[in-house]
Amino acid sequence: MGSRAKIVLALAITAVLFSCSSGNKPNNETSVPAEIQPTVVANDPVTPTEPEQQPVLEPIQVLGRKQIIEKYSDDVPRKFGERMDGIISGFIPTGKQIALTLDACGGSYDRRITDYLEKKKIRATLFVSGKWIDMHEKELKRLSESSLFQIENHGKSHKPLTSDGRSVYGISGTKDIGEAYDEVMVNSERIERITGRSPEFFRSGTAFYDDISISMLNDLKVSAAGYTISGDGGATYSRSRIINIVKGAKPGDIILMHINHPESDTFDGLVGAIEELLGSGFEFITMSEAVKNR
């Protein structure tokens, strides 16, 4: 073989070897067509469930004395009485329900009444004035510890609640809105100190209000308590008259009577009327229980 032929043969062998080493290299992995490639989904880390957030209750905003005076000092009352918008006079019953309310205006205390109510397990709301508390603070504390009695506010000085000093039954009302504020709040704070509970309701001395004082009570978040039946006429009615009036109560009535006149016929008349009402299937509830139905 000539030298030229040897060179050609060497080049051919080199080309074959190069082709084997750099051509399609065998692959031990199986290719998967793109359209059926499995999708691998990474597991997300588990996020702990947070407890449901409870709504934050905003504190009730109550106007102070200075704010009340600034708001109402130039206002002129247009209404005055026992019946007007904003005064609770009756409620919607859920059965044969009536609310017995007893005013402690001042002076004495007819314990026979509350003893009888406790014996019969009759619920009642007691409206106590600052004048009455002056003489019966220990009794008030004891009464407040009974589950039967709800203690409410009858005013620091037992006056009609007015912004201009208007009078009724010979009793002068609070002379201005500042005194009206004190009539409510001074006694309310005193009752809370003694009983541990702030009153929800206010009944003025004589149960008379003017429209400005009703608006003030709304600002103080206090409900004005009225009535539908005057059971003892300010502790002046006879036993028979009390029985005849009170036993005629209808579901939803609020009865007003007194516990500060042991010399009157109120106790005997109240007992006679209650026995008849119980016999007719009536239930006695507090003012708080009554307003739930309003």
Residue 51 or residue 261, greater confidence: 261
Global pTM exceeds 0.75: yes
Q: Which of 17-26, 153-162, 189-198 has the lowest mean pLDDT?
A: 17-26
Report which of 223, 258, 226, 227 is spatially closest to residue 242, judged by C-alpha positions: 258
Average pLDDT over residues 88-98: 97
- For a pLDDT cut of 70, what percent of the chain falls above it? 79
Q: How far is 80 from 209, CA to CA, in rounded Å?
A: 6
Task: Reply yes or no on domain 65-291 having CATH 3.40.50.2000.
Answer: no
Report which of 245, 134, 292 is spatially closest to residue 257, judged by C-alpha positions: 245
Residue bearing tokens 């003017």:
210
Kindly tell me if the per-residue pLDDT of 221 is higher than 80.
yes
- For a pLDDT cut of 90, what percent of the chain falls above it? 78
Q: How far is 160 from 157, CA to CA, in rounded Å?
A: 9
CB atoms within 10 A of CB 22: 8
Q: How far is 136 from 157, CA to CA, in rounded Å?
A: 15
Looking at residue 61, its pLDDT comes to: 75
Contact at 8 Å (CB) between 126 and 148? no
pLDDT tens digits, 131-169:
999 999 999 999 999 999 999 999 999 999 999 999 999
CB atoms within 10 A of CB 228: 18
Report which of 83, 81, 82, 106 is spatially closest to residue 235, judged by C-alpha positions: 106
Please, which residues bridge with residue 103 across strands?
Answer: 127, 258
In terms of Cβ atoms closer than 10 Å to its own Cβ (0-12, 13-18, 19+), residue 199 is: buried
Looking at residue 62, its pLDDT comes to: 83
Residue 38 or residue 254, greater confidence: 254
Strand 97-104 relative to strand 254-258, pairing? parallel
Residue type, 94: T
Kindly tell me if the per-residue pLDDT of 249 is higher than 60.
yes
The mean pLDDT value of the chain amounts to: 87
Map out the domains of the chain as residue ranges: 65-291
Report which of 252, 256, 258, 264 is spatially closest to residue 291, judged by C-alpha positions: 252
CB atoms within 10 A of CB 281: 8
Contact at 8 Å (CB) between 148 and 121? yes
- The two tokens of residue 21 are 């080493």
